[in-house]
Chains A and B, each alone.
Chain A
Amino acid sequence: GENVEQHPSTLSVQEGDSAVIKCTYSDSASNYFPWYKQELGKGPQLIIDIRSNVGEKKDQRIAVTLNKTAKHFSLHITETQPEDSAVYFCARGTYKYIFGTGTRLKVLA
């Protein structure tokens, strides 16, 4: 199927702790996996992406891992800060993105 399953739907962490969001997919042909951060009243902002020929990618406090065999990919945020609070969406595909259902992350100061 086309769907992308995303878990958890909500996540609360203490400031400074790590947050992990996981997505699973079923389409073996997918080879591009972006992550978006959406703040209230704004459009989704691309924060990191990974392609199928790479297992892990890191950008400062944000990292994404991809397991093509198991068909899942995860977003890791370390040393969380209050400004990381937002809704995060995973997606898969090229041109036609299929988005996950979103994770509302709350970082508690």
Chain B
Amino acid sequence: EAGVVQSPRYKIIEKKQPVAFWCNPISGHNTLYWYLQNLGQGPELLIRYENEEAVDDSQLPKDRFSAERLKGVDSTLKIQPAELGDSAVYLCASSTSGDEQYFGPGTRLTVT
């Protein structure tokens, strides 16, 4: 069974530029999560989807971050414009319930 797929794996952009990350969850997993992981810290939840509905986006900085999961499968997380402090690893995870979340390899974003 294929795991969670994320792309790109690495992205370097200049500040104020837009950037987008893509995630394909494990087949059959209705719940999809985006996490932010700063260096040396544990992941922090940004947004959770149940199928195509964002059911918890309380931690998403909505002034510059947006996300979508239009058909309830793949998801895209966007930052516009990016700031220096956005440099981090962006992780996608999926699950069939609230337990047993499986993570992708992450996208390492560097904003210069």
Q: Give bound CA distance, A49 to B102, whole Å.
A: 12
Interface positions, chain B 1-54, Cβ under 8 Å from A, are: 4, 6, 31, 40-45, 48
Q: A97-B45, A101-B41, A101-B42 are in contact. Are A44 and B91 (CB under 8 A)?
A: yes
Answer yes or no: A91 CB below 8 A from chain B CBs: yes
User: For A101, what are the chain B residues with a Cβ–Cβ distance below 8 Å?
Assistant: 41-42
Whole-angstrom distance between the Cβ of B83 and the nearest chain A Cβ: 23
A95 with B98: in contact, given A43-B4, A101-B41 (CB under 8 Å)?
A: yes
Contact B99 A32 (CB under 8 A): yes
Select which of A34, A43, A93 is within 8 A of B106 by beta carbon: A43
Task: Tell me the minimal C-beta distance from A64 to chain B in angstroms.
Answer: 14
B91 x A95 contact (CB < 8 A)? no
B40 touches A46 (CB 8 A): no
> Shortest beta-carbon distance, A67 to chain B, in Å?
20
- Residues A45 and B103 in contact, CB atoms below 8 Å apart: yes
| Chain B residues, Cβ within 8 Å of A25 | none
B100 touches A96 (CB 8 A): no
A96: chain B residues at CB < 8 Å are 45, 48, 56
Instruction: From B42, B48, B100, B106, give the contact of A89 (CB < 8 A).
Output: B42
Would you list which residues of chain A between 88 and 109 have a CB under 8 Å from chain B? 89, 91, 93-97, 99-102
Q: 1/0 per position for B85-112, CB-CB distance to A under 8 A? A: 0000001010001111111111000000
Q: How far is the CA of A101 from the CA of B39 in the complex (A)?
A: 11
- Which residues does chain A contribute within 8 Å of B41, judged by CB atoms? 99, 101-102
Which A residues are closer than 8 A to B by beta carbons? 32, 34, 36, 41-46, 49, 51, 89, 91, 93-97, 99-102
Given contacts A46-B100, A46-B103, 11 further A-B contacts (CB under 8 A): A43-B6, A43-B91, A43-B103, A49-B99, A91-B42, A93-B98, A94-B98, A99-B43, A101-B42, A102-B40, A102-B42
The 8 A-B pairs with the shortest beta carbon distances in the complex, nearest first, are: A99-B42, A94-B98, A95-B98, A43-B103, A44-B103, A43-B105, A89-B42, A43-B106
